[in-house]
Structure 1
Amino acid sequence: MASSPLNQKSNFHARSNSLPSRPHPLVTQIDEYLCRLKSNESASSSSPPLTRNLSGLRDLYELVDDLLQLPVIQQSLAQRCNDKQVNELLNESLKLLDVCGVAKDVLLQAKEDTQQLQSILRRRRGTEAGFTNETKEYFASRKKAKKLIRKSLKACKCGFAQLENDGEATFSMLREVERVTFTVFESLYSYIFGSKMESKSTNWSLVSKWMSSKRVTCEGEATETNEFEKVDAVLCTVIGNKIGKSGKMSSDDAQIELQKLESSIQDLEDGVECLLRLLIKTRVSVLNILSQEAFT
């Protein structure tokens, strides 16, 4: 096997009969970002860790794009333009674009739904009249989003779970970047989904979880209930009178939680939008490298 253009001591575990060469600074940086993102795979399902992970992915893809401009890396890819691994790499990049696009659409719809509910609450402050139908529409939209998430994960998860290192450092690196990217989007999907995707929480269990999180927050401790779950729960209290508060107080709670959710969605939406552009840019760079070789 030809000597790899990347350092063989990196986390990509490339195999070569040659001695390790001095690593390029970009390779070291990419390796560090991959390790950092993998260490955050079990991060809380709340917005701040997800926003940081999306920001980390953005920086990672910018480094990958810089690496793809190096002649030695372009040569390494071009030499294998007809290999099975190239097709797999490009197929997985398409799956990532689909996952990212679904996340973008779902976040956009969720933001519009929260804004609509806030507008209705402001117009009807202190009363619950007419709010039930709008809340039911919100939950119907959430149900549709969850179906899209399940469908997207089902289409993509199997392929990424079976990714194996190629044995050639450049491809191993790119496939590891794709795998870590998918893992971050899995966490984002879980956050949007609210409660665990395997479970089917009842309205009352959502309310109980929300009330528990409010008590924990008052004691100054962390809570694992994310913003989507809190909104789901507080809306149940508004339309179902599950807690002993007046309609005005329940509406105030809903307004507060909706504002928090909208802010979180905006941060995530910005990160996903930026990452989508970088995913497209990286795919185009790889395709350009392969097409140039095909015509030489």
Structure 2
Amino acid sequence: MAYHLRSASTPSSPRSNKAEVEEQFQSLSTTISSPSATIGMMCDGLRRLGDIYSCIEKMMCTTSSQVSLCQTLQRLAVEAELGRSLVVLDLCNGMRESFMELKMTVQELLLALRRGDDVSSQVKAYVRQANKVQKQFKKISKKTASDKNDCRVVMLLAEAREITISLLEFTSSILSKQVEMPKWSLASKTFQRSKIVCQEEQLQALEHSIGDLESGVELLYRRLIQNRVSLLNVLSS
């Protein structure tokens, strides 16, 4: 089920925005922890994260938030969060490239299957690429910890950053399980047309899903950039 933030045309207070964003965080956390989570749910989660970052940006542009963010102690917290956000930007950029490579690997697997070739090498390539995506998270696990802060915007940005990393990591875990070596290597040596057709459909669906993930991460990347620009404008005002 998709969840949507309020339309920008609907008047709302910073306090109600905060409550709404917190509700979205809780919903996303539940999705990530669900054993039945799917790639489609992760695609929806990326879109919802983009909406969350847009909502936080609106909050930081209010007069009260700008005054708070520019106070000496809060300014230091904002600058620290700006630094940590670079880690997430790098991660999103890496994920975009990885999704492109995964999609190309799936396309190669699909072509090999249609030709009736042994697809073992393509399956191994997919597994390697999926594992490569997961390795990205081992490099950032110790770089994103943040201190407690009583500034509403900084706190929400920190929470959004943490849920973003969790969602992307969970997405990579789901992708790594989409193609299993024993099943595909065995099927590639059979001539049961119905089984091959079924696998073609699975691969086409996987290719489409990875494309959706790629678009979702691209949108999230742009929203993160917009957030950084807005924060930097507040600090320089």
- After TM superposition, the score normalised by the length of structure 2 is 0.82
User: Secondary structure in 1 aligned to 2:72?
Assistant: coil
Residue from 4, 23, 38 that aligns with 2:29: 38
- Equivalent residue for 2:139? 155
Cα drift, residue 186 of structure 1: 1.6
1:238 aligned onto 2:187: yes
Correspondence for 1:168 among 136, 151, 154: 151
Instruction: Give the alignment partner of residue 53 of structure 2, picking from 54, 61, 66.
Output: 61
Greater per-residue helix proportion? 2
Aligned to 1:185: 168
Q: Which amino acid aligns with 1:95?
A: V
Q: Does 1:27 align with 2:18?
A: yes
Equivalent residue of 1:246, what SS?
Answer: coil
Unaligned runs of 5+ in 2: 1-12
Q: Return the letter of the residue paired with 1:154.
A: K
Deviations 1:260-291 (A, max 9, x none): 21122122222111111111111121122123
> Stretches of 4+ moved more than 6 A in 1?
none
> 1:92·1:159 contact (CA, 8 Å) conserved in 2?
yes
| Mapped contact 2:92–2:217 kept (Cα < 8 A) | yes
Deviation at 1:39, TM superposition (A): 2.6
Name the larger-Rg structure. Answer: 1
Given that 2:60 and 2:153 are in contact with CA atoms closer than 8 Å, whether structure 1 keeps it comes out as no
Q: In 1, Cα distance between the equivalents of 2:110 and 2:125?
A: 17
1:165, distance to aligned residue in structure 2 (A): 2.3
1:280 matched to 2:225? The reply is yes
Q: Classify 1:120/1:144 alpha carbon distance in 2 versus 1 (closer, same or farther; 3 Å).
A: closer
Shift of residue 251, structure 1, vs aligned partner: 2.9
Preserved contact between residue 54 and residue 275 of structure 1 (Cα < 8 Å): yes
* 1:206-229 Cα shifts (integer Å, max 9, x gaps): xxxxxxxxxxxxxxxxxxxxxx23
Separation (CA, whole Å) in 2 of partners of 1:79 and 1:60: 24
Aligned-pair distance for 1:135? 4.1
Q: Percent identity?
A: 26
Work out whether residues 17 and 55 of structure 2, in 8 Å CA contact, stay in contact via their aligned partners in 1. Answer: yes
1:95 to 83, 87, 90: 87
Worse-superposed segment, 58-67 or 33-42: 33-42
Secondary structure, in 3 states, of the residue corresponding to 2:222? Answer: helix
| Alpha-carbon distance in structure 1 between the residues aligned to 2:14 and 2:38 | 36
Q: Which residue type is aligned with residue 58 of structure 1?
A: G
Question: How far does residue 36 in structure 1 lie from its aligned partner after superposition?
Answer: 1.9
Q: Which has the higher contact order (CA 8 A, sep 6+)?
A: 2
Alignment-derived partner of residue 85 in structure 1: 77
Partner in structure 1 of residue 63 of structure 2: 71
What runs of 5+ residues in structure 1 fail to find an aligned partner? 1-21, 195-227
Shift of 1:97: 0.9
**Residue 48 (structure 1) shift:** 2.1
Hey, what's the Cα distance between the residues in 1 that align with 2:22 and 2:161?
Answer: 13
Q: Distance in 2 between matches of 1:78 and 1:93?
A: 18
3-state SS, counterpart of residue 157 of structure 1:
coil
User: Letter of the aligned partner of 2:38 in structure 1?
Assistant: S
TM-score by length of 1: 0.67
Give the equivalent residue in structure 1 for 2:179. 229
